[in-house]
């Protein structure tokens, strides 16, 4: 199983974003959390949960400040097979979140079968998993007329 890396974040207003957004496109704007980019997925072949930092697969020694161990405690029956859970692992960085330290905030799910990002409605089997927090959507909807870039 190969690591699925999250796409680069597009910064609106940069010269490389001209023509990216078109009138009527559906977008979601989320708050920026200052943590560590992390992901995990359930591997059906090995019956294990695999955890990743932005650049590598994690294990007991290289664990992204406890993220690997956190994923190994998750209830496997609540993780959707074929989905990669992308999020931010809150560790003390420049911005501190003492009340949320060592928590994972979901920002996207990737369907490895359909090869696309899918909505938050697929968070876990039977609805939102109780162990999963998500970042707040500050804005979602279509791009209004005259605001596309």
CB 132 within 8 A of CB 124: yes
* Closest-CA residue to 147 (of 29, 23, 28): 23
Chain-centroid distance of CA 32 in Å reads 12
Q: What is the pLDDT of residue 142?
A: 52
Per-residue pLDDT of the chain (149 residues; tens, 9 = 90+): 566 666 666 666 777 777 777 777 777 677 777 788 999 999 999 999 999 999 999 999 999 999 999 999 999 988 988 999 998 898 877 888 888 888 888 888 889 999 988 865 554 444 445 556 665 554 455 554 554 44
**C-alpha–C-alpha distance, residues 112 and 2, integer Å:** 11
**Is 116 exposed, middle or buried (CB count within 10 Å of its CB: 0-12, 13-18, 19+)?**
exposed
Instruction: Provide the pLDDT for residue 21.
Output: 72
CA distance 32 to 13: 17
pTM above 0.75, yes or no: no
């Amino acid at each position: 199983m190969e690591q699925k890396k999250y796409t680069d974040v597009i910064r609106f207003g940069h010269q490389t974003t001209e023509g990216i957004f078109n009138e009527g496109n559906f977008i979601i704007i989320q708050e920026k959390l200052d943590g560590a980019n992390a992901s995990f997925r359930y591997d059906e072949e090995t019956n294990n949960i695999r955890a990743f930092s932005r650049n590598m697969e994690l294990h007991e020694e290289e664990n992204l400040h406890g993220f690997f161990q956190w994923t190994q405690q998750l209830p496997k029956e609540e993780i959707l097979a074929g989905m990669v859970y992308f999020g931010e692992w809150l560790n003390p960085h420049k911005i501190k979140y003492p009340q949320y330290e060592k928590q994972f905030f979901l920002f996207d799910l990737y369907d490895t079968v359909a090869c696309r990002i899918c909505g938050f409605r697929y968070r876990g089997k039977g609805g939102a998993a109780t162990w999963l927090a998500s970042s707040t959507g500050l804005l979602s909807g279509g791009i209004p007329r005259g605001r596309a870039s």
